[in-house]
Amino acid sequence: MTPKRKPVVGGNWKMHGTLGEAQDLASEVRNRLSSYGAVQTLVFPPFPFLGAVAQRLADSNIGLGAQDLHFEKKGAFTGAVSAEMLTSVGCAWVLVGHSERRHVFGDSDDVVAKKLRAALAAGLKPVLCVGEKLEERKAGDTFAVNRRQLRTALNGLAGDQLQHLVLAYEPVWAIGTGLVATPEQAQEVHADVRAAVAELLGGAFAGAVRIQYGGSVKAETAAGLMAKADVDGLLVGGASLKAEEFAAIVRARA
Ligand code: PEP
């Protein structure tokens, strides 16, 4: 791994837990990781728990993010949450284009692009997720799908607007399935994602941007993935709900 890219590991809590469980998990993550500075640690709780988790993480080095946002600033969008709402409860980060938003809720590439712009306009640091479905991989379209998602999201943006951008390669077939990509599969796509970013935003930007792998990561698979040259961290779903396992994943980097 290039030393100048500090690894970043995020825990996506998805739609799990109650307020009390989220508070306990946040405190436990903080206790286990607040003195560990080698990796940047982020957590993404469900919307209703963000303010309470922000309090538990106050003055720690653990970053707080939301799992999604709406692209509009305000209005008649029942059930939706704006970027400004997120910053007002203490969020600094937000997932954009997570595969469950794309494939369960139907967010198109264009909607993801709008969400990315809304996040940037509000000063949120985005984790832009891309990834191919199993049938796309089988058809030999892995690179093309990831490049299309990246291109649509990043089109027209400049590197100085994207200085806090983190990318996450999350193959849809690996998310929540127990089918983790091999380190070699992850590295192959990460290298192509970085090459695509270089074409869009230049080599210097591409060399600095961090690319996480996500998809069924567990403590025992984390080190092998993070050892790869272009894997700069992990985005962890199910395994981030147990503080002990999440801390082991964060600390797995050699
Ligand atoms: C995710 O939600 O981003 C994810 C990678 O989930 P899981 O680790 O459960 O596959």
Q: Which ligand 1 atom lies nearest to the CA of residue 129?
A: 3
What's the whole-model pTM score?
0.97
Instruction: Name the nearest CA neighbour of 181 among 167, 168, 199, 162.
Output: 168
Work out the pLDDT band at 244, boundaries 50, 70, 90: very high
82 in contact with ligand 1, CB cutoff 6 A: no
d(CA 231, CA 242): 23
The answer to whether the CB of 131 is under 6 A from ligand 1 is no
Angle among Cα 182, 186, 187 to the nearest 5 degrees reads 115
Segments of the chain assigned E as strands: 8-12, 40-44, 62-66, 93-96, 125-130, 166-169, 210-214, 233-236
Given a cut of 90, is residue 218 above it in pLDDT?
yes
Q: How do residues 219-237 score in pLDDT, each as one tens digit? A: 999 999 999 999 999 999 9
- Contact assessment for residue 60 and residue 29, using Cβ atoms and an 8 Å cutoff: no
The answer, yes or no, to whether any atom of ligand 1 lies below 6 A from the CB of 237, is: yes
pLDDT in tens, 194-210: 999 999 999 999 999 99
Q: Does domain 8-250 have CATH number 3.20.20.70?
A: yes
Query: What pLDDT, in 10s, does the model give residues 44-103?
Result: 999 999 999 999 999 999 999 999 999 999 999 999 999 999 999 999 999 999 999 999
What is the position in ligand 1's atom list of the atom closest to the CA of 170? 5
Q: State the amino acid at position 184 in one-letter form.
A: E
User: Does 170 participate in catalysis according to the annotation?
Assistant: yes
The closest-lying atom of ligand 1 relative to the alpha carbon of residue 168 is 3
